[in-house]
Structure formats: C-alpha cells, structure tokens
A and B are shown apart, each in its own frame.
Chain A
Amino acid sequence: MRPLRIVSFLLLSALAATPLLSQEPQVRASVTPDRVEEGNQVTLTVEISGGSQAPDELPDLTQVPGFILAAGPSVSSYFQWVNGRTSASRTYTYTLLPQGRGTRTIPPLAVKIGGVVLRTEPVRVDVVPRGSLGGGGNPPPQGSPFADPGMRQRLAPPPTTPALLIVEASVDKPVVYPGEQVTLVYRVYTQFEIAQMTLKDQPTYQGFWVEDLKTDDKYETRPVARKEGDFIEYTVLKKALFPTNPGNFTIPPITFHFAVRRRGMDPFESMFFQPTEGFFRSSGAVTIRVKDLPEQGRPPEFKGAVGRFTLEVTTDRKQTRVNDAVALKIRVEGQGNINTLGTPTLPEIQDFKRYEPKVEEAMQAKGGTLVGAKTWEYVLIPLAPGEQVIPPVRFAFFDPLTAQYRLLQNDPIRLSVAKGDLAEMPVQAAPDRTEIPVLGSDIRYIKQAAGRIVDEGTIPYAGRGFLALLLAPLALNASILLITRRRAALSGSEALVRRRRAGRAARKRLRRARTHLAHDQSGQFYQEMASALTFYLADKAGVSASGLTYDRIEEILSERGVEPEMGQRFRRCLEACDFARFAPASSGKEEMERAFAEAGKVIEDLEGKVRVP
C-alpha cells in the first residue's frame, strides 16, 4: 500500500511539473479603465503567466511619473490543470491615481523572475476633465449604492447616471503677499453614503505656515448642484496658509480613501451586514503665486507683519516710586498670523531698567480668518525720580487689502516717579547705573562775547616797551650795585687808614703827655692820656670817638673779640686818667709816671687784638 502511494505521488508530480517547467513565463500589464476622469482611480494589473515561480523582484510603482500609488499590490494566484495542460498565473493589482489631464503612459515595468528580467508593454491611460464621461467609469457600479432608498430620495440622481465621488481642493485667492492668509479648503462631493473616509497621507505645505481652521469633529454638510449632478458637499479640511516667501508654490494633491456603503440586493443580508467598498480619490494640485512685498513706503519699523492690526500700550499705573516696578503692556490685536509677529519697536527708555518681556499670544478662527492678539509685557524699574516719559512704541504692518504699509504708534506715556525711601533702596542699585547714552553728535555751540572784542593777534613781547620793561630793572640793579660798591670802597679805605694810624697817633699823644709830665702839668697830662686811649680805640674799631662811654667801650671791645680782662684793664686805665683829670689834688708825679707806663702798656697790648668789624 505504502509503496503504491509514493509511486502514484511521484507520477502525479512529474506529470504536473513537466509542463510547468517547460513553459516560458510571460508578463502583461493592463489598466482598467483606460479612460478616467480627473481625480478618479485606475486599477493596474500586472499578470505573470506561464510559471508558478514567484518573481524575485516586483516593479516599483511609487516612482511612476504622473501617477500616485494609492494602494497595492494585492496578489492573487491562479493554477489550472486541464487535460494535461497546465496554466498558472499570478496577478498583482495596484490602485493608481493619475495626476493632471491628458494621456498618461505607464512605462514598461520590469519584473525579475528566476534571474531573468521581463518587461511589460507600456500602458496608456487617458485622463479627461471631470464630468466629461458623464459620470461613467468608476467606481465600478457593481453592487449599486443606489440600493439605499433614503439616499436616492435625498439626492434623486437621474436613474441612468452612475453615482459620483469627487475630491476638490480650492483656495480663496490665487495671488497673495507673503504673510497674507490663504484659506485652503478640501471638499468632498459625493452621491454615495460614505461610511468611512481616511486621509492617505498628511500633505506637506512647503513654503507655508499652516494653521488648521477646522476644529469641530462634524463636517459642514450641504446639498449642492454641480454640472455633473446633485451632490452632498462635505467640507472636510480647512487650513489657513501663510506664505513665508515670494514665488510660485504648488500645493500637492491630497488623497483620500473612501469606504462607501453598498447594499446587496438581498434585503436580508443588508439588514445585518452593511458591506462597504473602498476606493481612492485625489484632488488636483493648486498653485499659489506669492508676490513680493512692495519696497515703496516700507517703514524701518516693519518686521514682516501682514494683516490688519491695532496697537494698544498701557501701563498698570501712572505713579510709582524709584525701584517700584511698572508693567508696560504692548498689545497687538487683529487679523493675520499672530505667531510670527515681531516685537514692536520699543524705544530706549532712559532712567529705567528693562527686563525681557513676557510674551503671550492667542489665536482663533473667526469666519474663516485667523484673528488673535499678542501681548508683550515688560517690567520697568524706574531708576531716577521725576516726571518720566515712555516714548511712543511703534508697530508697522502691511495691509494686503489696500496694499500699503501702515505705522501705528501710541501717545507717549507720562509716569510720575517719586523718590524711593532711602532705607528701602537696595544697595545693589549702583551696578544698574548705565553709561550716559550717546544720542547724537554735533559741533559745540558758538561763544558769546566775554568782554570786548579786541585784536588778539599781536605778540605781547614784541614791542619796545616790553624790552624796556626787561632792561629797566636790570639797569636799576646794576646801578644799585655800582653805588653800593663805591660807597663800600670809600668807607672801607677811611677806616683802614684810621686803623693803621691808630698806633702812631696814640704814641704821638703819649709823647705829648710825657712833655706835660715833664712840665708837671697834671691836668693837660691826663687829658692827653685819656684822648690817646679813646682815639686809639675809636680808630681801631672804626667808630666815632665822641660819646664813647665806659660801657660802650667795653661793649665795643668785647664785640671786636678782645678778652674781658684786657677790656677791664683798658677801662681802669681810662677811668684813672679821667678821675685824676677832675681831682688834681690827689695826683703826684709818681702816680703820673705809673699811669703813663700803664697806658703805654695797654695800647701796646691792644695792638693787633682789635678785630676788623
């Protein structure tokens, strides 16, 4: 039993395999339908026949120009063995969405089977404008959705016309300025009951700032009449686009997958199941031209805001104290892209410390346009007391409706800043002090007259008067010098003579005294003696002999460096002479001899001892 089964299996396998291996594989591509309205799908079938081998490599359909791959591939195999003849095929089905209008060609597709590359024939698809097929083509009307009596009642399409499903993208204006809002709306027109709708992939909007306008879950629905017939219109997506740069931009098509309800002819089945059928639809591409913003009349404060705005600047109070913070609120409100609003130009505020602002923004869609408000809240710390003025804040925007720039500014805000409490003032306030800002430069102002306008160009020392002024004191000093020298010379020589002759004159007087002594004339003798002593001293000292008292004599002697003992001797000698002169009775010859000898000795001893004054 067992061997028999094995044999029979082998036999069968051999029979089955032989023709398969011998048959050459073939590939064929076909499209249904080959004529399609814009936005509708086509089905591409790639059939590999004549071999059960699976292909090593499938054609890449993602890069076919002019088509979007919406779904696929789905595979189905077919194997038949009839009367010793076998036929086998594999079918790959793709759902494609043709783009644009006209004849689109699917190029030869390469399939690699068993190391051999096979190519299909090119396939042509005619894309015709919407409605030109009279609603023909797809979706394939197998299992007609018109089985739904309610729908038929609502739409009441002509019974001969197959149902339609259209996706459309539209913008409210094709030419805009950068920053101006463009509203992009995706609408679905349907004659079916749509069970489910999914976005195939989220489209990218290059060159635009995108804000979603639709917020609620429910679609706007309304019946519309188009030239193709009556439809239910669903507004499925609404987006506000803000172009960022000038140029031409294309918004790529969007593709939806729809599941539409269909009811089988069997009312029993339709009671429990709601069979659906899926197919793809894509919108057309939309081109937007973005113009350059005009150069003319562009204020320097313009930072790219486009729309219509109002400016409001407030402070939370008008009176404050030094170091007591004041909140300065700048609020810009209006239509436009609030997110990208640049900070309004806040002027330099002197005597205030300013912190980075706190920014708040709020946006909402209002009647299809985005409106909102952006707030910058600055904290200002007054640093100096007095009436302070916050200069106007400037905000410029471009109004696309009038195609003109507008500059908003508020009135200056006056703040009265009272002196802060010294005790409360933080010591750290000092580092906040700023350099005195340079606001401008100019030449210094002209001068007013300080006194008379006189010629200053002269050289003060150039005149003769000046020279005279220099020479006069010089001459004066020279003459003073001359005169004093001369006088000194004169007086000097007189004294010298006297000094030199002092000794001789004294000896002469002493000789005369000796004569008087010989004649015993005591009065004359003593007088001669006294004058010899007195004149000797006067001559030596260079002083006048008259009026010399004893004290003065002693003073002169000590001034001229004579020893006190010597001075005493001189004084005693002179006193003795004077005494004897006025009392003659007491003087004898002997005494006169002794006085004479003493006087001679004193003069002799004094010689050379009296210094030159």
Chain B
Amino acid sequence: MRRFCGVVAVLGLALLFGGIGAARAAGASRSPDELFARGYEQYSRGDYAAAADSYREILSAGIRNSRVFYNLGNACFRRNQIGQAILYYEKALRLDPTDEDARENLRYANLRIRDRIPADDSPLLLALAVRARDLLRLEQVTRLFLGLYLAGMLLGAGWILANARRWAPHLGIAALVLFVLSLACGGWMLLQGRARTSADEAIVLVEKVEVLSGPGSENTLLASVHEGTKVRIHNRREAWVQVTLPDGRAGWIRGETLGVI
C-alpha cells in the first residue's frame, strides 16, 4: 500500500512540472528572440517603424506574446497610431493581465482618443472580482489549480489507505478542503481562459468610422466613432460587424475598420 502513495506522488509531480510547457512552438525562419532583440535596438534608436515591423514579424509567425504586443503598442504609440497602440496594449493585457506597464500605457493612450469613455460604473463587488481575476496569469492559475487538485487527490488516496487508523479522519478533511479549493481555482482558471480567448471586443483603427443601423451603406447613420474607441462585437454579416458602442448604443460597422482584441 505504501507503494501506491509513492506512485501517485511521483506521477503528480512529474505531470505538474513537466507536462504544462511540453507543447512549445517550433522555431521560425528567423528566431523570435533575435527579432525581439532587434526590435528593442531599433526602438532605442528611435526607429519606431522598423521596430514595429520586427515585432509584427514575430506575430506573423503565429507567436502571441504579451511582451511583443506591449512593445509593438509602444512603437505604434510613438508613431502616433493611437488605435493600433490601444489594440496591442489590450492584446498584451489579454495574455498577461498582471502587466502593470501595459495597463498604465493603455490608460495613457486612452487619454488621447477623441470619444469620451464613460467612467467605469460597475458595482464594487464586480470590480473587485475583475481585479482578483487579474491577480495572476492564466498559466499561474492553472498551475495553482493542478497543485491543489493533485495534492487533494494524494491526501484522498492516503485517507483511503489509512483504513481505520486513528488519524484517518484528519487526512480526509484535509483532502476535502484541498479538493474544494481546487474546484474554486478551476473556476478562476476557466474564467481567465474565457477572457483570454473571447474575441468579442475590438478597437477602432481608422480616424473616423460611421455607425449605421444595419449591415449596408444604405442604412441610417446613427453615430460616428473615432480611432481608439473600444466596441463590443455581437454579430457578423459579410463585411459588416454589429457592435455596441461604449455608451450602450448598437449599430453596424465595416469590419475592416476594427482590430479585434
């Protein structure tokens, strides 16, 4: 029976530390690390256009990286492409919600856009929940969940094997607590995963875009929004996207004017 405990522990630890990062991207024609270093050097020189190209090359290889998005956002900001800058800061935050730099620069860039962003008036509890959600990166939350879950399982196995020994009940309670914690952590993980994968928000990338009442230029003009404004995507029909504006109004915008976060 002792052997069982050992097997479970070894298996758990091996999976915990080895398994997560197993599937890593294969190398591209030019290594992303080289491109990243080159972009840094170009940015330091003040050649923001070249730096942006370097970072875009990394992205075109299918690599989504929060640092690359952040640096690309800075390069776009320096070139006065506020919409692009906001889009990339948002993307960086999607991948790493703990990045204070990206959050600060996003706030700074948002000061420069033309449309007024309504103040965040969500209830305190919800705001706190969103804050809590962004305390850790998805990878960290996943690791935490797995750790709790496997530890709980281990203790559970111990409890089963302890049979009728006197300390068996303590083991059982500890296993139960860990299991409940791991469940909560799993919920957190799913929440963050959904935030990372959702493609329901977009940034206006052109200077000014018209919002129509339907998918087609013959529809009534409802409003016009400007570069950098964040909209929520609901529906797509051909080249048109149904969006909700920051003030809550809905309308249709041509899809190519938007950058989906």
Chain A bound to chain B: yes
Which of A2-10, A113-121, A248-256, A448-456 makes up part of the contact surface? A448-456
Given A446-B43, A455-B63, A484-B160, 14 extra CB contacts under 8 A: A443-B108, A449-B36, A453-B65, A455-B65, A456-B95, A457-B64, A458-B23, A461-B190, A461-B193, A462-B193, A463-B23, A466-B19, A473-B12, A473-B154
- Is B163 within 8 A of A484, CB to CB? yes
- Is A473 within 8 A of B33, CB to CB? no
Contact with A along B11-41 (1 / 0, CB 8 A): 1100100011011110000001101110010
- Is A461 within 8 A of B189, CB to CB? yes
B residues engaging A (CB < 8 A)?
1, 4, 7-8, 11-12, 15, 19-20, 22-25, 32-33, 35-37, 40, 43, 58, 62-68, 70-71, 74-75, 77, 95-96, 101, 104-105, 108-109, 138-139, 142, 145-146, 149-150, 153-154, 156-157, 160-161, 163, 189-190, 193, 196-197
Contact with B along A444-479 (1 / 0, CB 8 A): 111111101111111111110110011011101100
A residues engaging B (CB < 8 A)?
441-450, 452-463, 465-466, 469-470, 472-474, 476-477, 480-481, 484, 488
- Is B4 within 8 A of A480, CB to CB? yes
| Nearest B residue (CB) for A613 | B164
| Nearest B residue (CB) for A453 | B32
- Is A453 within 8 A of B23, CB to CB? no
Tell me the smallest distance from the CB of A455 to a CB of chain B, in Å: 5
Which chain A residues border B138 with CB–CB below 8 Å? 459-460
Q: A469–B14 Cα gap in the complex (Å)? A: 10
Highest count of chain B CB atoms <10 Å: which of A446, A448, A473: A446
Tell me the smallest distance from the CB of B147 to a CB of chain A, in Å: 11
- Is A465 within 8 A of B19, CB to CB? yes
Q: A474–B8 Cα gap in the complex (Å)? A: 10
Q: A459–B138 Cα gap in the complex (Å)? A: 8
Which chain A residues border B160 with CB–CB below 8 Å? 477, 480-481, 484
Which chain A residues border B157 with CB–CB below 8 Å? 473, 476-477, 480
Pick 30 A–B contacts, CB within 8 A, sort by A: A443-B74, A443-B108, A444-B74, A444-B101, A446-B40, A446-B70, A446-B74, A446-B75, A447-B67, A449-B40, A453-B33, A453-B63, A454-B65, A455-B62, A456-B95, A459-B197, A460-B139, A461-B190, A465-B22, A473-B149, A474-B153, A476-B8, A476-B153, A476-B157, A477-B153, A480-B157, A480-B160, A480-B161, A484-B160, A484-B163
- Is B74 within 8 A of A472, CB to CB? no
| Nearest A residue (CB) for B37 | A449
Q: A56–B169 Cα gap in the complex (Å)? A: 128
Q: A484–B158 Cα gap in the complex (Å)? A: 12
Tell me the smallest distance from the CB of A388 to a CB of chain B, in Å: 30
- Is A443 within 8 A of B77, CB to CB? yes
Which chain A residues border B36 with CB–CB below 8 Å? 449, 453
Q: A442–B104 Cα gap in the complex (Å)? A: 10
Q: A450–B7 Cα gap in the complex (Å)? A: 35
Which chain A residues border B70 with CB–CB below 8 Å? 446-447
Which chain A residues border B22 with CB–CB below 8 Å? 465
Which chain B residues border A448 with CB–CB below 8 Å? 40
- Is A444 within 8 A of B142, CB to CB? no
- Is B67 within 8 A of A452, CB to CB? no
- Is B193 within 8 A of A456, CB to CB? no
Which chain A residues border B104 with CB–CB below 8 Å? 443-444
- Is B33 within 8 A of A470, CB to CB? no
| Nearest B residue (CB) for A444 | B101
Which chain A residues border B12 with CB–CB below 8 Å? 473
| Nearest B residue (CB) for A449 | B36
Tell me the smallest distance from the CB of A437 to a CB of chain B, in Å: 19
- Is A453 within 8 A of B67, CB to CB? yes
Which chain B residues border A457 with CB–CB below 8 Å? 64, 95, 196
Which chain A residues border B196 with CB–CB below 8 Å? 457, 459
Tell me the smallest distance from the CB of B127 to a CB of chain A, in Å: 23
With A461-B189, A463-B23, A480-B161: A444-B64 Cβ-Cβ less than 8 Å: no
Q: A24–B109 Cα gap in the complex (Å)? A: 98
Q: A450–B142 Cα gap in the complex (Å)? A: 21
For the complex of A and B, 7 pairs with smallest distance between CB atoms: A457-B64, A473-B153, A453-B32, A446-B71, A443-B105, A460-B142, A444-B101
Q: A454–B21 Cα gap in the complex (Å)? A: 10
Which chain A residues border B142 with CB–CB below 8 Å? 460-461
Tell me the smallest distance from the CB of A301 to a CB of chain B, in Å: 29
| Nearest B residue (CB) for A476 | B8
Q: A442–B85 Cα gap in the complex (Å)? A: 14
Which chain B residues border A481 with CB–CB below 8 Å? 160
Which chain A residues border B25 with CB–CB below 8 Å? 454-455
The one of B37, B96, B101, B146 that contacts A456, using a Cβ cutoff of 8 Å:
B96
Which chain A residues border B139 with CB–CB below 8 Å? 456, 460
| Nearest B residue (CB) for A481 | B160
Tell me the smallest distance from the CB of B5 to a CB of chain A, in Å: 9
Q: A447–B66 Cα gap in the complex (Å)? A: 10
Tell me the smallest distance from the CB of A332 to a CB of chain B, in Å: 40
Q: A582–B22 Cα gap in the complex (Å)? A: 75
Tell me the smallest distance from the CB of B180 to a CB of chain A, in Å: 15
Which chain A residues border B15 with CB–CB below 8 Å? 469, 472
Q: A470–B146 Cα gap in the complex (Å)? A: 8
- Is B8 within 8 A of A473, CB to CB? yes
- Is A456 within 8 A of B64, CB to CB? yes
Tell me the smallest distance from the CB of B56 to a CB of chain A, in Å: 13
Which chain A residues border B63 with CB–CB below 8 Å? 453-455
Q: A446–B22 Cα gap in the complex (Å)? A: 29
Q: A441–B105 Cα gap in the complex (Å)? A: 11
Q: A484–B157 Cα gap in the complex (Å)? A: 11
Q: A461–B185 Cα gap in the complex (Å)? A: 13
Tell me the smallest distance from the CB of B39 to a CB of chain A, in Å: 8
Which chain A residues border B32 with CB–CB below 8 Å? 452-454
Q: A100–B12 Cα gap in the complex (Å)? A: 114
Tell me the smallest distance from the CB of A475 to a CB of chain B, in Å: 10
